[in-house]
Amino acid sequence: DQQVKQNSPSLSVQEGRISILNCDYTNSMFDYFLWYKKYPAEGPTFLISISSIKDKNEDGRFTVFLNKSAKHLSLHIVPSQPGDSAVYFCAVCTDKLIFGTGTRLQVFP
């Protein structure tokens, strides 16, 4: 039973525009929500997180939004850059880290 879902397997965005990656979860008791970025042949790297007591967290070009009533998480990247092209995983953390299926983002010039 998938507890974390990323319904868009891929996304293509022009450089300079906004990228919006979405994630849905099932359990309202989750404490922390995270986004990871993964390049080919590398391990995932931590990007940004948000606690369940907040609804927004910003770090440079990256902003994560949390809508607890909808059990929905989103990552906004503004402006998008070609170097942002990677697979993005959302994850939830309780006593362990549970990942979504990932969204492949491609940023083209």
Partner 1 sequence: NAGVTQTPKFQVLKTGQSMTLQCAQDMNHEYMSWYRQDPGMGLRLIHYSVGAGITDQGEVPNGYNVSRSTTEDFPLRLLSAAPSQTSVYFCASSYFGRGGYGYTFGSGTRLTVV
Chain residues in the site for partner 1 (CB under 8 A): 4, 6, 9, 31-32, 34, 36, 41-46, 49-51, 89, 93-102
Nearer to partner 1, 44 or 107 (CB): 44
Shortest Cβ distance from residue 9 to partner 1 (Å)?
A: 7
Q: Which residues pair with 97 in a beta bridge?
A: 93
For 104, what's the count of Cα atoms within 13 Å in the CB-facing half-sphere? 5
Q: Minimal distance in Å, beta carbon 72 to partner 1?
A: 17
CB of 73 to partner 1, least distance (A): 14
Q: Given the complex with partner 1, which of 20 and 98 has the nearer CB atom?
A: 98
Burial of 50 (0-12, 13-18, 19+ CB in 10 A): buried
Convert 75-87 to b/e letters by CB count within 10 Å (16 or more is b): bbbeebeeebbbb
For partner 1, the closer CB: 2 or 81: 2
**CA-to-CA separations, 75 to 5, 24, 57, in angstroms, rounded:** 14, 12, 10
Residue 100 CB, nearest distance to partner 1 (Å)? Answer: 6
Beta carbon nearer to partner 1, 4 or 13: 4
Look up residue 41 and give its two tokens. Answer: 């042949």
